[in-house]
Amino acid sequence: MEPTPPNQLFLVAVLLLSSVICTFSVKQCPNCGLTSVPYPLSTNPTCGDQSYKIRCNAGVLIFDTLNNSYPINFINPSNQRLVIQPANLLPNTCISSDFIHQGIQLSSSLPFNITGENTVMLFNCSESILDQPLNCSPSSLCHLYVEGEEYSRCRDSSLCCTFKAGGSASAYRIRVLENGCRAYRSFIGLDWGLPVDKWPNPGVEIQWVLPLEPVCESQVDCDANSTCELNRSDGVRRCHCKVGLQWNPIQGNCTQTGGCQSPGGCDRQTKKTLITALTSSLSALVLLITIAILLHKRYKRIKEAQKRLARHCEEILSVDGSKSAKHFTSKDIKKATKNFSKDCLIGVGGYGEVYKGYLEDGTVVAVKCAKIIDYLL
Ligand SMILES: *[C@@H]1O[C@H](CO)[C@@H](O)[C@H](O)[C@H]1NC(C)=O
Ligand SMILES: *[C@@H]1O[C@H](CO)[C@@H](O)[C@H](O)[C@H]1NC(C)=O
Ligand SMILES: *[C@@H]1O[C@H](CO)[C@@H](O)[C@H](O)[C@H]1NC(C)=O
Ligand SMILES: *[C@@H]1O[C@H](CO)[C@@H](O)[C@H](O)[C@H]1NC(C)=O
Ligand SMILES: *[C@@H]1O[C@H](CO)[C@@H](O)[C@H](O)[C@H]1NC(C)=O
Ligand SMILES: *[C@@H]1O[C@H](CO)[C@@H](O)[C@H](O)[C@H]1NC(C)=O
């Protein structure tokens, strides 16, 4: 046999690698018929989250329970709910067609449960059901329903009961039993005051838990924005989002933290950012005001020092009133000292600098430069 050329080996390796990536990468499943399949629901092993398996059968989405299957009528990914079409009655009986499977039974180890939005009615019940905390009185809503056409067969079996699902007992099942009730009906968000002909279509609403980051075995299973890391508390490796990105359980990918697309966590994030912004602008304002006050104080002190200096000058000039004092302008003095040239400097002391100068008429003078600092208190 001829040895395989290296470039063919490379191609095989690339294909293998990409198939591995496809197997694990998180992405939304393709539409089932005309119905979109939102993340994390998964219709096959290459998409969605594998804990959220449903089926696509000839363009219809199917929800599998422990022992049975129901068509999915509606999916709302924004509140993680879907509605399944429950079983009808067996022909000419008041027995649900899923009676042999004991009604709807979900696995409590899967991330789905029955919501409290379901008003459930049980029909054709035996006396033993009266032990249960259900409303089976003659005024129970189920009696109203059997007056209608669809469940008129259940009219003869006088004992029926009504309850709101979603409690711990009914989070995973709507049960029908030989030793209990034999038929059920469920309505979502039912207004108990409405006449029966205004009721919504029957359905069972099921909610799913928001998915965690996808499970991984190594970095190959994660995309560029996440890292495969072991969680020590549950011992499971998951693709954790990189710094600055946040797991978005609705879209099923890592999104920018500032983007605020995650439910619940966003509000707090925005508030935190707002508080940070307010705090920093407030401290900036305080700093500015402090600087302004300090500058103003300094300006006032210099002004006062200049005034004191001027007063001092007047005092000097008026000591000997007999001789008339002469005022020199700063221009005269600059000229006399060659603009305070270093050559003319004859002394420096705590009082300031003394320059030798020549006036226009040749008179030699000493020019003392008072330091304004001496007049600052
Ligand atoms: C009610 O259930 C019992 C027991 O399964 C069954 O024999 C009976 O036919 C049911 N009633 C109707 C009206 O179908
Ligand atoms: C449901 O299926 C499980 C196994 O999948 C089985 O053990 C159980 O007896 C079934 N229950 C009913 C009511 O069919
Ligand atoms: C069903 O699941 C939802 C989502 O995790 C949860 O909020 C709710 O409490 C669960 N209901 C019951 C009865 O366990
Ligand atoms: C990673 O995140 C960036 C920014 O959010 C995005 O533009 C990019 O498409 C992401 N890459 C992948 C593989 O998801
Ligand atoms: C690790 O797993 C625990 C238990 O499932 C969970 O509460 C925790 O949030 C996880 N930690 C991280 C970083 O995902
Ligand atoms: C995350 O997934 C959503 C929906 O599939 C997509 O629109 C968005 O661009 C994705 N974002 C990133 C950063 O990959």
Give ligand 3 pocket residues (Cβ under 6 A): 113, 166, 171, 207, 209
Q: Do the domain assignments include residue 34?
A: no
> Which range has the worst mean pLDDT, 131-135, 192-196, 235-239, 257-261?
257-261
Helix, strand or coil, per DSSP, at residue 65: coil
Q: Is residue 374 a part of any domain in this protein?
A: yes
Report the nearest-CA residue for atom 4 of ligand 5: 234
If asked whether residues 159 and 129 sit together in one domain, one would say yes
228 plus 133 within the same structural domain: no
Q: How many domains does the chain have?
A: 3
Asked which of 207, 241, 266 is the last residue of a domain, the reply is 207
State the residue range of the domain holding 367: 326-377
Question: Does one domain contain both 172 and 94?
Answer: yes
Cα(123) to centroid(ligand 1), Å? 10
Rounded CA separation 32/34 (Å): 6
Does one domain contain both 199 and 225? Answer: no
Whether 114 and 163 share a structural domain? yes
> Is any atom of ligand 6 closer than 6 Å to the C-beta of 28?
yes
Indicate whether 369 pLDDT > 80. Answer: no
> How far is CA 139 from each of CA 143, 145, 158, 186, rounded to the nearest angstrom?
7, 11, 12, 18
Q: What is the pLDDT of residue 358?
A: 81
| Cis peptide, bond prior to residue 40, ω within 30 of zero | yes
* pLDDT at 310 exceeding the cut of 50: yes
| Residue 73 domain-assigned (yes or no) | no
Is 199 in the same domain as 118?
A: yes
CA of 343 to the centre of ligand 6 (A): 78
Round to whole Å and give the CA distance between 319 and 262. 85
Residue 324 has pLDDT above 50, yes or no: yes
- 162 with 237, same domain? no
* Residue 175 maps to a domain: yes
Same domain as 225, residue 203? no
Residue 45 within any structural domain of the chain? no
Residue 172 shares a structural domain with residue 135: yes
Which range has the worst mean pLDDT, 3-7, 172-176, 245-249, 307-311? 3-7
The domain that holds 339 is classified in CATH as: 3.30.200.20
Average pLDDT, the chain: 83
> Would you say 331 is a known binding-site residue?
no
Q: What is the pLDDT of residue 270?
A: 54
98 and 195 within one domain: yes
Is 320 a domain residue? no
Q: Residue 4: what pLDDT?
A: 43
User: Which token pair is 56?
Assistant: 């696509």
